Amino acid sequence: MWWARTTTLLVSACLLSALSAHAIWPQPALYGANKTQSFARVSSDLRFNLVDGTDKTRVPSDLTDAIVAATKLANSIDLWPLTPGRGEEDRAAVNAAPLISGVQIKVLELMPETTPNPCAKKQIAEAPLEARSLQAPFQGRLKAIHDVQLDDTTQNQATANTETAEVWSNACSIANRAIKEVDYKVSSKPLDLRTDKSAPADLGFLDAEMYRIDVPQDGSSIRLTSYTALGALRGLQTLLQLIYSLPPQGGKSQRFIRNVPNVITDRPAYPYRGLLLDTSRNWFDLPTIRKLIDTMQFVKLNQLHWHATDTHSWPLAFEGELSVLADKGSYGWTYVDGQLVRMVYTEADIKDIIDYAAARGINVIIETDMPAHMLEGVQAVGGGELMACPNRPDWQSVAAEPPSGQLRLVSNGTTLNTTDVGTFTVPGPIKTFVSTLLRKTASLSKSVYVSSGGDEPNFHCWNLSSEAAMEPYLAKFMAVVTNVTTAAGKKGVVWEEMAVKFPTVAKTLGKGSLVGIWNDPNNAGIAIENNPDVKVVLAPYTFFYLDCGGPVFLGNTTNNNWCPYVSWQKTYSFDPSVVIANATAVNPGLKGVRERFVGGESAVWSEQIDAQNLDVKVWPRAAAGAEVWWSGEVANGKKREPIEALERLLELRWRLVARGVRAEPLQPLWCALRVGECNLY
């Protein structure tokens, strides 16, 4: 157990009191700070260095980039304390404090003591990615925009990325760790970041994210220690949250860290800490997605569940035989920062998003939803032969929302009748299409996971008599999906419909595949009962859907949308242990139920969200989810609860604003500056 292993750390931190009020988000596993008022000044030219002795040949480029990015942020972003004086009251004491001018980063996997060397030597010289436009022109439409000059100077983020294919063979990169299968395996050797000189070869997924920060009181360098580059990345995000500024004087900001010394030892509770982004209902440009990834990184979210397609549009611009999907099913043209772009993601864009995320410790799981939630694009395949109930005017009788459409898996029309279970097989054109599609998303994915969605299949759309009547056809369908996914070397991801309602469908899911629970969280226990080989991702809409609340998107009604608004407090109050207890009770005798709960995610279903309001809808509420999954049920020895969390979340919100994220305010600034003075009493 990780707790047992870190008891020594607890003892060493005992001299220091635990200040839960310090503004780290998500809350670290162990945090000790000086309970006496004390400060260290932080140089306005804070230098971050890998410690002497680091094997430079092993340092992955994404770690170098992460250190450069953290240096820039540490030396540019100011957050004044959330007090009425904004820190003015501490000016004299801060100015008298020793000055810290360096951060020494020690990544044990990069030290010569770590043997056998788990890092592949670089095979090919590093070459910058081919310079490309903000949004590469789509396919054959290239000519149509030939005279529209895309401004190459605005491509800073795309071209700054100099990663090459070799990064994926470099076991020491952040990216390499980020894309691994989520699990709870731990290294066979107990870990102690204070004393370990090397990283064990069998480091577990969560061990890799572990880090320790020591902020001294005497002005010597801050020390950040981790086993991996990914762990260093996580630690850098925490470190950035320790730094405050005095109100500027003479145009200069004095930065400082309070309550020194600080000692932080941290490791996540859950390996899957996700955010779902739906790019079908509304499209998001690449800079917006990169910014979302940056903010996810800041709060240590590590899975971007990319719900790429739905009935409304097909933005994945595949090359080759599937190109018709976006050609016919995307939203067409728009302007992004004054540039004309197509609302698609080319294969180069998809790679860009995946690589950008991975270098920030985030795995991208591509979801092409099926057999329901398909229309645009898919309708254009084979003259429409794949579709059942496409865009019906009476959509309400066949789908959850307009426009309707799902794969024509089974027919029960007057002339065409394929309902005979004995002879039923997945229709050839559907099998071919689904196989080609999944092989394509698998080939583009760096992730172990590829998602086929599977929510809300509608029996009326197939002229069946009941929901239960869908089961045999869905089971055959999912068997095909699992086959193709497995053959492509991937694990599947499905929504709970494929695992909870229909036991025989659940049986077709592959070992280690993920099931997203979006209704009653206790459905997780049923999914596990139906197929003990699956793992569970918790995303019940009552706690995690960021689009809930507000007006419905449907015309000619004045109702609110289908689900109630999810406050940050509601998300934060989610207690996975209650759900795990239910699943354990529902599956008596089954070992390792806890280990099947790999985490959860907040969801940005985008019917009413696009780049204009994304920040406000997501932040800081998704950060509440990030803490549920990073910190777990207990943080710093105490059960998490929203009353304690408010003060820290306010600080996070202001830090996000300082970074240019339009996170929504939680309180009047007056209240944010005066902790507790706006409480109910």
User: Which residues are catalytic, by number?
Assistant: 456
For residue 277, what is the enclosing H or E element? strand 272-278
Question: In this chain, which of 20, 522, 569, 577 binds ligand NAG, going by CB under 6 A?
Answer: 522
The smaller minimum CB distance to ligand NAG, of residues 243 and 580, is found at 580
CB of 581 to ligand NAG, least distance (A): 7
412 touches ligand NAG (CB under 6 A): yes
Q: Tally the C-alpha atoms within 13 A of residue 637's C-alpha that lie toward its C-beta.
A: 15
Which of the 8 DSSP states describes residue 551? Answer: B
153 touches ligand NAG (CB under 6 A): no
- In this structure, are strands 597-604 and 272-278 parallel, antiparallel, or unpaired? parallel
The smaller minimum CB distance to ligand NAG, of residues 64 and 465, is found at 465
Cis peptide before 261 (omega within 30 of 0): yes
Which residues contact residue 224 at a Cβ distance below 8 angstroms, ignoring those fewer than 6 apart? 103, 104, 105, 106, 211, 212, 213, 232, 235, 236, 239
Stretch that binds ligand NAG, among 71-79, 197-205, 310-318, 409-417 (CB under 6 A): 409-417
- CA–CA separation, 610 vs 282, rounded Å? 6
Which residues contact residue 288 at a Cβ distance below 8 angstroms, ignoring those fewer than 6 apart? 611, 614
The smaller minimum CB distance to ligand NAG, of residues 16 and 672, is found at 16
The smaller minimum CB distance to ligand NAG, of residues 392 and 570, is found at 392
669 touches ligand NAG (CB under 6 A): no
Q: Which of residues 477-516 bind ligand NAG (CB under 6 A)?
A: 479-480, 483
582 touches ligand NAG (CB under 6 A): yes
CB of 338 to ligand NAG, least distance (A): 38
The separation between CA 622 and the C-alpha centre of its own chain, rounded to angstroms, equals: 10
β partners of residue 551: 560
76 touches ligand NAG (CB under 6 A): no
C-alpha closest to that of 531 among 568, 506, 513, 495: 506
- CA–CA separation, 681 vs 668, rounded Å? 18
How many residues bind to ligand NAG according to rule CB under 6 A? Answer: 32
- CA–CA separation, 317 vs 485, rounded Å? 20
Question: In this chain, which of 469, 488, 590, 657 binds ligand NAG, going by CB under 6 A?
Answer: 469
Please state, in angstroms and as integers, the Cα–Cα distance from residue 668 to each residue in 54, 123, 674, following that order. Answer: 48, 55, 10
CB 304, CB 365: distance < 8 Å: yes
Question: In this chain, which of 6, 34, 303, 368 binds ligand NAG, going by CB under 6 A?
Answer: 34
The smaller minimum CB distance to ligand NAG, of residues 293 and 450, is found at 450
Tracing tokens 């995320």 back to the chain, one arrives at 357
464 touches ligand NAG (CB under 6 A): yes
Burial of 55 (0-12, 13-18, 19+ CB in 10 A): middle
Question: In this chain, which of 463, 513, 571, 631 binds ligand NAG, going by CB under 6 A?
Answer: 463
C-alpha closest to that of 367 among 499, 514, 571, 158: 514
For residue 614, what is the enclosing H or E element? helix 614-618
CB of 246 to ligand NAG, least distance (A): 18
Instruction: Name residue 404's amino acid.
Output: S
β partners of residue 102: 47
Stretch that binds ligand NAG, among 31-39, 340-348, 354-362, 619-627 (CB under 6 A): 31-39
The smaller minimum CB distance to ligand NAG, of residues 354 and 399, is found at 399
Q: Which of residues 184-243 bind ligand NAG (CB under 6 A)?
A: 217
408 touches ligand NAG (CB under 6 A): yes
Stretch that binds ligand NAG, among 157-165, 279-287, 375-383, 518-526 (CB under 6 A): 518-526
- In this structure, are strands 449-453 and 491-495 parallel, antiparallel, or unpaired? parallel
147 touches ligand NAG (CB under 6 A): no
CB of 605 to ligand NAG, least distance (A): 23
CB of 73 to ligand NAG, least distance (A): 27
C-alpha closest to that of 235 among 28, 57, 473: 28
Structure tokens at 43: 């140089």
CB of 109 to ligand NAG, least distance (A): 31
The smaller minimum CB distance to ligand NAG, of residues 586 and 658, is found at 586
Stretch that binds ligand NAG, among 54-62, 340-348, 407-415, 542-550 (CB under 6 A): 407-415
CB 304, CB 368: distance < 8 Å: no
CB of 355 to ligand NAG, least distance (A): 32
Question: In this chain, which of 397, 417, 612, 667 binds ligand NAG, going by CB under 6 A?
Answer: 417
The smaller minimum CB distance to ligand NAG, of residues 576 and 620, is found at 576
CB of 194 to ligand NAG, least distance (A): 16
49 touches ligand NAG (CB under 6 A): no
16 touches ligand NAG (CB under 6 A): yes
CB of 505 to ligand NAG, least distance (A): 12
For residue 48, what is the enclosing H or E element? strand 39-50
- CA–CA separation, 665 vs 619, rounded Å? 9
22 touches ligand NAG (CB under 6 A): no
Instruction: Name residue 124's amino acid.
Output: I
- CA–CA separation, 107 vs 67, rounded Å? 12
The smaller minimum CB distance to ligand NAG, of residues 77 and 469, is found at 469
Alpha-helical (H) ranges within 360-444 are: 428-444
The smaller minimum CB distance to ligand NAG, of residues 241 and 582, is found at 582
Q: Which of residues 361-400 bind ligand NAG (CB under 6 A)?
A: 388
C-alpha closest to that of 179 among 386, 436, 366, 456: 366
Site for ligand NAG, rule CB under 6 A: 15-16, 34, 36, 38, 217, 261, 388, 408, 411-414, 417, 419-420, 462-465, 469, 479-480, 483, 520, 522, 525, 556-557, 582, 585-586
